[in-house]
Structure 1
Amino acid sequence: MDLTQLEVFRAIAQEGSVTAAAARLHRVPSNISTRLRQLEDELGVALFNREKLRLHITDAGRTLQDYAGRILALTEEARERVSGQHPTGIFTLGAIESTAAVRLPPLIARYHQAWPEVELDLSTGPSGEMTEGLLAGRFSAVFIDGPPKHPQLEGVPAFAEEMVLISSLNHPAVSCAADINGATIYAFRANCSYRRLFENWFAVDNAAPGKIFEMESYHGIVACVSAGAGLAMIPKSMLQSMPGRDSVLAWPLAEARGHLHIWLVWRKGNRPANLEAMIALMDTGKQR
């Protein structure tokens, strides 16, 4: 199993066909098919199920896809470390939605001005999903609430953040979780760290939420809360940037429980030139 086979396999897995993978890698389809067959013969398993012109990845293929991503990412890291090249090429970043919407635009603008040859590829999602993507090699770095807890990760604080509880305008004052014990709340999916913070806030006060409705956007959450359908916990900076900010009340969490930091996180020992440039810009911004 060599790097070329892994590159071919990854291209097929991402494109879904030999023809598309061949076009992407600038090779003839017969060469791609041969490389895939050799890899399957070597491993003794089928990596794809064939259906006419389409290929559907098998469970074994999904397992290999994870390893292939990490191996190829480490290979690229080695090339960059040895060559000592300046920031260039694709820089894959992940970020939780609120950070991407509010905190990153000015940083990304400064990065593009400093390093226009770098192509920033930004994806957003819950913190758990971003961490999984980083460990799987899909991202070079991610912005999540930190510090990182996984032993293979390290990072630096990037932005100070404050979480606030939001309610409808006619809701009674909220000073602690016990004040809203059993209340309906709105939150993102279970792998969202902000949701875990919300649930832990209840637990500390020996309280518990009632029905938890999972939402896909902050705008949807604010709309439901403003209508009096429940409560939510969101970043204060996100709320301040939204058109509906005046339709809800924001309550700070007692004892500074809502204060946290967003971290820029990467795999330990993996700081390519693109990432180093991002860290340097963040340090410059803090000194202003």
Structure 2
Amino acid sequence: MDQLNLRHLYYFWMISREGTIARASEVLDLAPQTLSGQLATFETALGGMLFERERRRLHLTDLGRTVLGYADEIFALTSELNDVVRLAPAERPLSLSAGVSASIHKLIAYNLLQPAMKLKRPVHLNCLTGNTEDLILRLKRKELDVVLTDWVPQEEDQRGFAVHSLAGSAISLFASPGLAEPLMDGFPESLNGAPMLATTADAPYFKNLMHWFSVNGVKPEIVARVDDSALVKVFGSQGLGVFAAPTAIRGEVCRQYRVEEIASIDDVNEALFAFTRSKHPAHDGVRAICENSVWFGSE
């Protein structure tokens, strides 16, 4: 092979990311037969198989893993270059498309996005909420510039995007004044049988909180499961149950929802991350988010 065919390499890269030729063909807008033929041509040029076929799934061979490592670096760099040359002149508004995991508290998401909104250059923000896995797919397809989340997939599933650690906070429990005050005495045993508002979103902090309850022999009663962090707070403000939120925003939570903090639990933490298409984002707004986290710890 005298010259590497970058188009064939790109097709291989997309197939490895999507897991099947059928899914990759949808993303690339190519017929599966065409894509399969291009892959076969690339394998012939390389002199070896890149995938092993097992039922409907494709698994990388040793050669495939080696080629994929180089492909990840090559297309990360080309993505950076593409972002740089496509950025509008400084005098024009900067478009920023951000995905926010539904499990992140809205006040936290607002604070994390603030560095981008405070740039000297005008920023037009398009914000989309959803589950992290769907947002990652949108990021890979360049529909989003950044994803803010509290959940990180396994290392082997992190191909095609970079992970940036932003901040962390202990978790506090809140309730309306009438419910909170009697629960402050004798905490955490006071929570036995207390009404608890749970999140149905895949929030790691809530799983850690439930584990902490179990370790400490505490059994609150789950009275509602809600997949929206703001709606959980509204229910809590109406006295329907205890809810959890990051200690870092307890002042704003108490002011906005007129609730009281029962206690802060240092052993239960929420960590926040930003996913970008490259390790060194060219987008000014994305870079500001990754480099200027604006909250940490407690107030």
Task: Output the CA distance in 2 between the equivalents of 1:165 and 1:227.
Answer: 15
Q: Deviations over 1:206-241 (max 9, x none)?
A: 223323522132342223223333211123527726
Amino acid at match of 1:79: T
Q: Is the 8 A contact 2:96 2:285 kept in 1?
A: no
Alignment partner, residue 161 of structure 1:
169
Q: Is the 8 A contact 1:92 1:141 kept in 2?
A: yes
Unaligned runs of at least 5 residues, structure 2: 1-6, 16-21, 40-54, 58-70, 89-94, 295-299
**Change over 3 Å in CA distance of 1:189–1:105 after alignment to 2:** same
1:214 partnered with 2:225? yes
| Aligned residues of 2:25 and 2:35 also touching (Cα < 8 A) | no
Aligned residues with identical type, % of pairs? 15
Aligned-partner SS, 1:124? strand
- Name the amino acid aligned to 1:150: Q
Could you say which residue in structure 1 is the equivalent of 2:234? 223
CA-to-partner distance for each residue in 1:195-214, whole Å, 9 max, x for gaps? 21321231231223323522
Find the counterpart in structure 1 of residue 215 from structure 2: 204
TM-superposed CA distance for 1:183, in Å, is 3.0
Q: 2: CA distance between counterparts of 1:180 and 1:250? A: 13
- 1:195–1:261 Cα change, 3 Å: closer
CA displacement at 1:102 relative to structure 2:
2.7
CA RMSD, aligned part only?
Answer: 5.0
1:39-58 correspondence to structure 2 within 5 Å: 39=35
Q: Which residue of 2 aligns with 1:94?
A: 99
CA distance in 2, matches of 1:239, 1:130: 31
Q: Deviations over 1:91-118 (max 9, x none)?
A: 664333325643134223135x4486xx
- The one-letter code matched in structure 2 to 1:187 is A
For the 8 Å contact 2:167–2:293, the answer to whether it is kept is no
Q: Tell me: CA distance 1:73–1:140, structure 2 relative to 1, closer, same or farther (3 Å).
A: farther
Q: Deviations over 1:74-98 (max 9, x none)?
A: 7752413567936738866433332
2:166–2:293 contact (8 Å) kept in structure 1: no
Mapping 1:13-32, distance limit 5 Å: 13=26
Structure 2 contact 84–283 (Cα < 8 Å) conserved: no
Q: What does residue 133 of structure 1 align with?
A: 136
SS in 1 for 2:205: helix
| 2:34 counterpart of 1:38 | yes
Partner of residue 245, structure 1: 257
**Deviation by residue 1:221-266 (Cα, 9 ceiling, x = unmatched):** 22322333321112352772687521x2222324x23554423345
Hey, what's the Cα distance between the residues in 2 that align with 1:178 and 1:131?
A: 39
Other-structure match for 1:264: 274
* Alignment deviations for residues 11-56 of structure 1 (CA, whole Å, 9 cap, x no partner): 9847xxxxxx7xxxxxxxxxx6xx455347889xxxxxxxxxxxxx
For residues 105 and 169 of structure 1, what CA distance do their matches in structure 2 show?
Answer: 31
Distance 2:293 2:192 in 1: 41
Aligned length: 239
**8 Å contact from structure 1 (residues 165, 232) kept in 2:** yes
SS in 2 for 1:143: strand
* TM-score, with structure 2 as normaliser: 0.56
Per the normalisation by structure 1, the TM-score is 0.58
Match of 1:187 in 2: 198
Q: Which residue of 2 aligns with 1:110?
A: 118
Residues in 2 aligned to 1:278 and 1:285: alpha-carbon distance in whole angstroms: 11
Kept in 2: contact 1:164–1:251 (CA 8 A) = yes
Q: Structure 1 regions of 5+ residues with no counterpart?
A: 15-20, 22-31, 44-58, 62-71
